[in-house]
Every structure is written in C-alpha cells, then in structure tokens.
C-alpha cells in the first residue's frame, strides 16, 4: 500500500492520532496494510527468558559478524524492520540510531524497532560511554542500513523488471518512478528471510540533502511507558523457579584492594528463618530464599565475623595523603617553558582546588538476574559493556565465555559506573552455587558503602597573563586515583586481582581550549592501593574535577587582567567549538559585559 507524503511525515513525527483522524485510511486499514503502529520490545517475557524466536534466538555465541548485513538488519513480512545495535540505552541514543537506520532504508520511524540487547544478538560496538553512541555507533548503523537497502533495490529491480536507477522507495515500498502503480514492498521481497549478503562498507549512503527523518525531532520509543510506570526494568524480571538473593558484606568498604576476610559464619543466627540457604565462595557470602523478604532478613541477621580492615586517611588528612603518597607522573602536555612564561608575565596567579569523593547514589538499587546451567549461562543486567560483562561473568564462574549470554536490561541509571555489574555478578555466582536462577538486588547501605566513588582530585594551578590579557603560562598539576576498580563480588570470590590503574590528568579540560604557548599538564597518579576507597568514572571521567579548578583559574586571570571574563575567554580561545558554546551560552543568559572583580 502506497502512502502519501503527508502520511509519511505524520508517521515519522509519531502523530498517530492525527493520522487516524485523517480521511486517508483507518487504523484497521493501516494495520492490515502492513504498517506497524505498535513497535518496540518488552523484555519481561520469553525473549529475556531465553525462548525468543526469530531475530532474538541464539544461533551461536556472539558477537555476530559485523561484516554481514543480517547481523544488523532484519526485514519482516509486515514491512517493518528490526535493527540490532550494540550501543545500549543510557540517554536515549538508540532512538537516534533507529532514525539513522530508517533514513537509509527509507522507512518511517514507526516501521523500525530495536532487537533485544544481548551478546548473542547485538554487534559488538564497544563500550557505551562518553556521549558518543551516535558519533561512533551511527556510522556503522548507517552503512549497514545502506547495504541492506542496496540489496533490497536489487531484488526489487529483478521482481519489477525495472533498472535500479528508475526505482524510488517511500516507507518501505519500492516503486517505478515512471509508473507508481508498479510497486513492491520490502516485506514482499525478503519478509523474515535472511539477506545472506556481505556488509561490504561500499554501498552508497543517502545524500544529506535528501534526508527526511534525520535531524527531525521524534518521540522516544520508551517515553510513554516510563511515564506510565509500565516500562520493564531488570528488577521486574522473574524466571521459573527463581530464588531471591542478597549479598552479605561489611557495612561499608575499607581501603581498596585490601581483602575483607571472613573469620567465621554463624548460620545458627538465622535458624528461625525457614527455607534460607547460605552460600560462600572465598570471602563472598550470599543468602538465597524463595521469598525475598526472608532473604533480606537473613542477610541482615546472619552473624559474620570479618577481619579488621586498615584505616583510611579520612577527609581531614586526604590532601596531605595525596601529596605525600609516592605517585607516578605523566605529562599530558609539556609545551614551551613555564618558567619563562611566568618570568615575563604582567600578572601571575596560583591556587589549589580540591573535590572530594562523590557517590553515584542512584535513586534505585542495582539489580541482576542469572540462570547458570551446565554449558549455558544467561545473565541480565544494566551493563554499559555487554561483552566486557560477559568476560567478567565467565572469569568469575570459571566457564568458557562462549557459554555465557549477557542480556542488557535497563536498571537504576547513573552517570558513570555504579554497582550494576556487581549485582549481576553476585546473581551469577549465587545461581551457580544454588543450581537455580537467582535475582540479586543490593541494599541501600551497599549502594552507598560499596560504590565506585567519583575520584577525589587535588589540583595545583599557576597561570599568567601579559599586559594585553593574553595567557602566557598555564601550569596544571593534578593528583588523582585511577578510574577503574574491581567488582566486589569478583574480588571477594578470589577471581580478580588488583587493577593498578593510572590516574592521569584530563588534558581536554585543563586549558586545552585556549591558545597558550607555555602550557604544562601533569598528572600525578595516586595509587589505588594506598589506603583509599575504590573509584570509577562519574560522568565525563575527570572532566568535572578538571573544569572545577581550571575555569576558576581562568576567572582569576581575567580579574588580574581587568577584563570581562567572557571577553577574556574569547580572546584566548582557539577552538571554534568552545567559542561557539561560550557565545551561545552568554547570549541565552542575556549576560551584560562587565569587568571581572569590579
């Protein structure tokens, strides 16, 4: 069924009610004609329970071969398409990736949906982080969709007896430009069959001037369900015969990489709670029960004696500890001569800035579900790296990675790394020990006490300007731990070793946007095992900490130069992107020019 331009525009914009009120067709007629008004994927059901059909069925251990179109695109008989991506949903980027795929395929946004995320189905597009899902994942999706379109046009050419150059596509219907009654839908060409064709990387992309969908606002697929409270999260997943688990740990972590040793467990302390079992591997302890409240009570009530942990320096001595701890040094930039720049400057400034540890403190608890069986392991969690988490699970359980399927399912959100992987690992280990599916949800004291805190940072900065307000020296020295730490479940189970990560300096946000001849950025890495808590990235790794100090120093220099702080930045910025952001922010704020410090 051919659709009008107006109809296609309404579909792209998600204005379904307005569409149905029109005179072109009824909702029933549209559904009968092959358009998909209701799209999306609910994981609370067969797909996540391992009995999915078609595109979501396990064929072989992933990652799927990115050099095959079928790893990215599936065309269905109802003239819709399923798109498989490896970038998971943190900020809504998958909707943008669907737009990109629909654009290249000449489908409406209503005709495309996402395949469920799992290591058996999803191409490995790497770690989802850094706000780069569109910039890094988009080109891959675009090329795969373009390859799929080229194959479909070739099939249509043969079916219609018309050269490809004489074909056009609208909403998945291929027609002869000279005779639009001569047409065929994608679903008729390939419906639910494999492309069986390579993703060559050579198929021509649609010219930007012909875009109809990319660049337009479209509704996220998940917004309505989240507003109504019906969107499924990993916390809601239930498997047949599933037990509820809780992890038992000390109330709060000690110094990173110092083992919390179990000295004794008194199981008689929970003998009044029927049906609860205690499991242990190394220093990992967990309890399981068919009843979640019983598992919670048992985890709280179980008497465990732990070894005494070493003390940490405390907030009052933290910066002294940072300066005095032997650390490694690494220059992110060392241009010109700081000493010469300072010596010839009209004004100089020096200051130290500090930011303490910051918890991710997600509103909801971290949760994971696992079903460990001989030769097959399924784990569900909100990981930012499905393939990375698959490796962690395999190492923890001592099984081959190709026997593990990690399914992404949304959990409690956070900017950076909270304890989602830890919950999934705990569920996997307890499932292996109990021989049944297990769901683990962390408690609030564990979320706060065992968090991967945003790294505390101490920064010493010296800056200088000449008599015209030009920055002539900028010396930035940062003390910081490495960003990555071990998952507590793996560490306590004895399957992971200390990560000796290097805490460097963030060059991008340490004066890099300014044109400075004498510019030094030095990272002094504070060892993760120097009696400090574990840390990880918390939104744009090290950027908030770097900007907190660096931009305050820029303000100090503007005051010293007697120049408006925005004007001072504009005359020293050499990066046009930063300049554009600065000018637009000042415009939107309605900011008036004034001399800083006056």
- Shared domain for 426 and 565, answered yes or no, is no
User: Which one of 446, 471, 486 terminates a domain?
Assistant: 446
Q: Which residue has the higher pLDDT, 523 or 33?
A: 523
**pLDDT higher than threshold 70 for residue 71:** yes
Looking at residue 482, its pLDDT comes to 78
Q: Tokens at residue 283, please?
A: 């220093």
pLDDT of res. 102: 98
Q: How confident is the model at residue 595 (pLDDT cuts 50, 70, 90)?
A: confident
For the segment 380-411, what is each residue's pLDDT rounded down to a tens digit? 999 999 999 999 999 999 999 999 999 999 99
User: Cα–Cα distance between 386 and 128 in angstroms, integer?
Assistant: 9
pLDDT at 258: 80
Q: How far is CA 595 from the centre of its chain?
A: 42
Would you put residue 540 in left (φ > 0), alpha (ψ -120 to 50) or beta? left
Evaluate if residue 52 carries a pLDDT over 70.
no
**Residues 471 and 402 occupy one common structural domain:** no
Query: How confident is the model over 188-200, as a mean pLDDT?
Result: 96
What's the pLDDT score for residue 36? 29
Predicted confidence band at 129 (pLDDT cuts at 50, 70, 90)?
confident
- Give the pLDDT confidence score for residue 16 in this predicted structure: 40
Question: Domain containing 280 — which CATH number?
Answer: 3.30.365.10
Over residues 499-527, mean pLDDT: 84
In this structure, are 472 and 554 located in the same domain?
Answer: yes
| Mean pLDDT computed over 49-75 | 71
Could you tell me if 36 and 140 lie in one domain? yes
User: For residues 343 and 403, what is the distance between their CA atoms, to the nearest angstrom?
Assistant: 64
Q: How confident is the model at residue 10 (pLDDT cuts 50, 70, 90)?
A: low
> Considering the domain boundaries, does residue 261 fall inside one?
yes
Q: Mean of the pLDDT values across residues 190-207? A: 96
For the record, the structure tokens of 284 come out as 């990992």
Per-residue confidence (pLDDT) for residue 586, from 0 to 100: 95
Q: Is the pLDDT of residue 587 over 80?
A: yes
Q: How many domains does the chain have?
A: 3
Q: What is the mean pLDDT of residues 27-38?
A: 32
Q: What is the pLDDT of residue 272?
A: 96
Confidence of residue 59 (pLDDT cuts 50, 70, 90): low
- pLDDT-derived band at 159 (thresholds 50, 70, 90) equals very high
Q: What 3-state class would DSSP assign to 551? A: helix
For residue 595, tell me if it sits in a domain.
no
What pLDDT is stored for residue 21 in this prediction? Answer: 44
Write down the pLDDT at residue 5: 55
**Range name among 16-25, 31-40, 139-148 with the lowest pLDDT average:** 31-40
Angle CA(81)–CA(121)–CA(383) in degrees, nearest 5? 115
Q: Based on the domain organization, do 145 and 180 belong to the same domain?
A: yes
Looking at the predicted structure, is the pLDDT value of residue 308 above 50? Answer: yes
Domain end (from 446, 471, 494)? 446
- Together in a domain, 62 and 102: yes
Q: Which helix (H) or strand (E) holds 381?
A: strand 376-381
Q: Are residues 347 and 381 in the same domain?
A: no
486 shares its domain with 427:
no
pLDDT value of residue 469:
96
Q: Is the pLDDT of residue 110 over 70?
A: yes
128 domain-assigned: yes
pLDDT for 44: 40
Apex 227 CA angle, 222 and 232, nearest 5: 55
Same domain, 186 and 223: yes
Q: List Cβ neighbours of 398 (8 Å cut-off, separation of 6 or more).
A: 495
Coil, strand, or helix at residue 548?
helix
Please give the Cα distance from 438 to 290 (Å, whole number): 9
Last residue of a domain, one of 414, 446, 478: 446
The whole-angstrom separation of Cα 288 and Cα 299 is 9
Relative to beta strand 376-381, strand 328-335 is unpaired
What was the pLDDT predicted at 6? 55
Reduced to 3 states, what is the DSSP secondary structure of residue 71?
helix
Write down the pLDDT at residue 316: 86
Stretch 527-556: mean pLDDT, rounded?
86
Q: How far apart are CA 219 and CA 495, in angstroms?
A: 44
User: Would you say residue 333 lies in a domain?
Assistant: yes
Percent of the chain with pLDDT over 70: 88
At 161 the pLDDT is 96
332 within some domain: yes
Answer whether residue 570 is part of any domain: yes
More confident residue, 289 or 257: 289
Answer yes or no: is 198 within a domain: yes
For residues 522 and 458, the answer to whether their CB atoms sit within 8 Å is: no
Q: What is the mean pLDDT of residues 436-440?
A: 98
Instruction: Give which of 587, 537, 549 is closest to 566, Cα–Cα.
Output: 587
What's the rounded Cα separation, in Å, for the pair 81 and 102? 9
Mean pLDDT score of the chain? 87
Strands of the sheet with 81-83, listed across from one edge: 73-75, 81-83, 112-114
For residue 598, being part of any structural domain is answered with: no
Same domain, 440 and 566: no
pLDDT score, position 254 = 86
Regarding whether 416 and 331 lie in a shared domain, the answer is no
**pLDDT in the model for residue 20:** 38
Q: Which domain holds residue 503?
A: 315-358+453-589
Does 58 score more than 80 pLDDT? no
Amino acid 271: pLDDT:
96
Specify the pTM: 0.86
pLDDT-derived band at 43 (thresholds 50, 70, 90) equals very low
Pairing of β 173-176 and β 179-185: antiparallel
Would you say 231 and 223 are in contact if contact means Cβ atoms under 8 Å apart?
A: no
pLDDT band at 574 (very low <50, low <70, confident <90, very high): confident
Note whether 371 and 346 are same-domain residues: no
Question: Residue 17: pLDDT band by 50, 70, 90 thresholds?
Answer: very low
């Amino acid at each position: 069924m051919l659709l009008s331009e107006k109809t296609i525009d309404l579909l792209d914009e998600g204005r379904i009610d307005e569409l149905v009120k029109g005179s072109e067709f009824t909702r029933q007629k549209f559904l009968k004609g092959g358009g998909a008004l209701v799209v999306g994927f609910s994981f609370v059901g067969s797909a996540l329970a391992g009995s999915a059909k078609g595109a979501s069925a396990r064929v072989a251990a992933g990652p799927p071969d990115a050099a095959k179109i079928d790893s990215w695109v599936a065309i269905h008989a109802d003239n819709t398409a399923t798109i498989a991506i490896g970038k998971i949903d943190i900020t809504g980027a998958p909707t943008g990736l669907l737009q990109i795929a629909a654009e290249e395929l000449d489908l409406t946004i209503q005709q495309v949906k996402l395949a469920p995320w799992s290591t058996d189905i999803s191409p490995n597009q790497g770690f989802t982080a850094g706000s780069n899902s569109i910039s890094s994942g988009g080109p891959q999706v675009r090329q795969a969709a373009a390859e799929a379109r080229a194959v479909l046009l070739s099939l249509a050419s043969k079916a219609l007896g018309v050269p490809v150059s004489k074909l056009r596509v609208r909403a998945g219907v291929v027609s002869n430009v000279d005779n639009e009654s001569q047409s065929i839908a994608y679903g008729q060409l390939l419906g639910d069959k494999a492309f069986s064709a390579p993703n060559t990387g050579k198929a021509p992309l649609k010219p930007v001037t012909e875009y109809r969908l990319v660049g337009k606002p479209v509704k996220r697929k998940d917004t309505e369900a989240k507003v109504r409270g019906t969107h499924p999260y990993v916390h809601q997943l239930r498997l047949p015969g599933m037990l509820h688990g809780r992890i038992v740990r000390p109330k709060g972590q000690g110094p990173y990489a110092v083992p919390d040793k179990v000295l004794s467990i008194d199981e008689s302390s929970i003998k009044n709670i029927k049906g609860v079992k205690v499991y242990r591997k190394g220093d990992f302890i967990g309890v399981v029960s068919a009843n979640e409240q019983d598992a919670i009570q048992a985890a709280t009530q179980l008497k465990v004696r732990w070894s005494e942990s070493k003390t940490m320096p405390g907030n009052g001595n933290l910066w002294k500890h940072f300066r005095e701890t032997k650390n490694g040094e690494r220059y992110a930039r060392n241009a010109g001569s700081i000493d010469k720049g300072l010596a010839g400057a009209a004004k100089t400034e020096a200051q130290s800035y500090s930011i303490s540890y910051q918890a991710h403190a997600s509103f909801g608890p971290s949760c994971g579900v696992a079903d460990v069986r001989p030769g097959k392991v399924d784990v569900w969690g909100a990981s930012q790296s499905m393939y990375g988490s698959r490796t962690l699970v395999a190492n923890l359980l001592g099984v081959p990675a190709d026997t593990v399927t990690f399914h992404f399912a949304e959990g409690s959100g956070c900017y950076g790394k909270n304890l989602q992987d830890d919950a999934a690992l705990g569920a996997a280990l307890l499932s292996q020990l109990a021989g049944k599916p297990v769901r683990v949800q962390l408690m609030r004291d564990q979320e706060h006490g065992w968090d991967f805190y945003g790294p505390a940072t101490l920064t010493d900065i010296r800056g200088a300007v000449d008599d015209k307000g030009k920055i002539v020296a900028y010396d930035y020295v940062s003390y910081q731990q490495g960003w990555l730490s071990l998952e507590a479940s793996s560490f306590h189970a004895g399957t992971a070793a200390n990560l000796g990560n290097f805490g460097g300096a963030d060059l991008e946000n340490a004066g890099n946007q300014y044109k400075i001849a004498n510019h030094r950025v030095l990272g002094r890495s504070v060892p993760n095992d120097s009696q400090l808590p574990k840390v990880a990235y918390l939104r744009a790794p090290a950027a908030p900490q770097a900007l907190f100090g660096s931009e305050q120093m820029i303000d100090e220099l503007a005051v010293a130069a007697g120049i408006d702080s925005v004007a001072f930045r504009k005359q020293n910025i050499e990066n046009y992107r930063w300049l554009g952001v600065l000018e637009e922010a000042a415009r939107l704020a309605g900011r008036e020019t004034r001399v800083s410090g006056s």
